Amino acid sequence: MTDAKTSLPRVLLVEDEEHLAAGLKLNFELDGLHVDVAATGREAGRLLLQEQRYDLIILDVMLPDVDGFSLCQKLREAGNTTPVLMLTARGATEDRVEGLNVGADDYLTKPFELEELRARMRSLMRRSAWGQRPEGRTTRLLELGDARIDFDSHEVTVRGEIMHLTALELELLRYFADNPGRVLGREELQQRVWKLNDYPSQRMVDNFIMRLRRHFEPDPRNPVMFVSVRGAGYKFMPPSNRGG
Ligand code: CA
């Protein structure tokens, strides 16, 4: 999605450190992006209500009035599937895992290199145009037990109820659907789904598999569709491939 008037991709930067926010805004604007900055969760909420068409939200975890985790969770609960990249201040693993659990698509630990942030932003924003990309032969409709996934309309329903998946969850699911029964390594998934070659974070892959299992497996602790292959990666076993 782009701004109708300027055609610039739109980024919402939620960051209370004034100098960091100003520096990032300047850099991104030079990169040809439209950037709105919010210094608080409240301000971010106001902008999101006003202007819902962002292509990417960069969300600091430590904000003065609210933490980024709960803001992200609220967005997802409200059905907003805009890609979210979280900036975590601490390097603590539980912070990153928490971010991915509440529906963020990626994270970066402060302090970070501008180049790495740019690479991760490009990866997420390329994906936001993914729905309009009819390249190659890919799965368009998938049925998993009670769930029906329409990759063209991005609509996911479970027993008729709408379920909201992020663009990245959908793209990972589509990649699995395009490659049923094949062992897919974490590195391959990262390159093909995340489009990240230079910044490995395989834990992120594992975390997204957990999310898909929670969404679709009858018993996420004993997965039968998104199966781990020890030492190799994952294998997608759709119900129709199991003779059931
Ligand atoms: Ca902060």
pLDDT in tens, 32-64: 889 999 999 999 999 988 866 899 999 999 999
- Residue 131: is its pLDDT beyond 90? no
Please check whether residue 95 is in contact with residue 48, taking contact to mean a CB–CB distance below 8 angstroms: no
Cα–ligand 1 centroid distance for 172 (angstroms): 30
Domain ranges of the chain: 6-128, 141-242
How confident is the model over 207-228, as a mean pLDDT?
Answer: 94
Q: What does the block give as tokens for 46?
A: 């106001």
CB atoms within 10 A of CB 5: 7
In CATH terms, are 6-128 and 141-242 the same topology?
A: no
Ligand 1 centroid to residue 14 C-alpha, Å: 9
What band does 2 get if pLDDT is binned at 50, 70 and 90? very low
Instruction: Say which range, 46-55, 77-86, 197-206, 229-238, has the weakest mean pLDDT.
Output: 197-206
Q: Say whether domain 141-242 belongs to CATH 1.10.10.10.
A: yes
pLDDT for residue 68: 92
Ligand 1: centre distance to CA 111 (Å): 12
Section 210-224 average pLDDT:
93
CA of 58 to the centre of ligand 1 (A): 12
Question: How far does residue 206's CA lie from ligand 1's centre (Å)?
Answer: 27
Do residues 69 and 98 make contact, with C-beta atoms less than 8 angstroms apart? yes
pLDDT computed for residue 160 by the predictor: 85
- Of 1-10, 52-61, 96-105, 145-154, the range with the lowest mean pLDDT is 1-10
Separation of CA 209 and ligand 1 centre (Å) = 29
What mean pLDDT do residues 86-96 have? Answer: 73
Question: Whole-prediction pTM value?
Answer: 0.69
The DSSP annotation for the chain comes to -B-TTT--BEEEEE---HHHHHHHHHHHHHTT-EEEEESSHHHHHHHHHH----SEEEEESB-SSSBHHHHHHHHHHTT----EEEEESS--HHHHHHHHHTT-SEEEESS--HHHHHHHHHHHHHHHTGGG---S----EEEETTEEEETTTTEEEETTEEE---HHHHHHHHHHHHSTT-EE-HHHHHHHTS--SSS--HHHHHHHHHHHHHHH-SSTTS-SSEEEETTTEEEE--GGGGT-
Say how many Å lie between the CA of residue 157 and the centre of ligand 1: 37
Distance 87 CA to ligand 1 centre (A): 9
Q: Right CATH number for 6-128 from 3.30.230.10, 3.40.50.800, 3.40.50.2300, 3.40.630.30?
A: 3.40.50.2300
- pLDDT in the model for residue 132: 44
pLDDT at 227 over 70: yes
Of 4-8, 88-92, 132-136, the one with minimum mean pLDDT is: 132-136
| 61 CA → ligand 1 middle, Å | 6
Tell me the CA–centroid distance for residue 221 and ligand 1, in Å.
35
* pLDDT score, position 125: 84
213 or 199: which carries more pLDDT confidence?
Answer: 213
- Residue 244, pLDDT score: 40
pLDDT-based confidence at 127, cuts 50/70/90? low
Confidence of residue 90 (pLDDT cuts 50, 70, 90): low
Cα 94 to averaged position of ligand 1 atoms, centre (Å): 17
Mean pLDDT, the chain, integer: 85
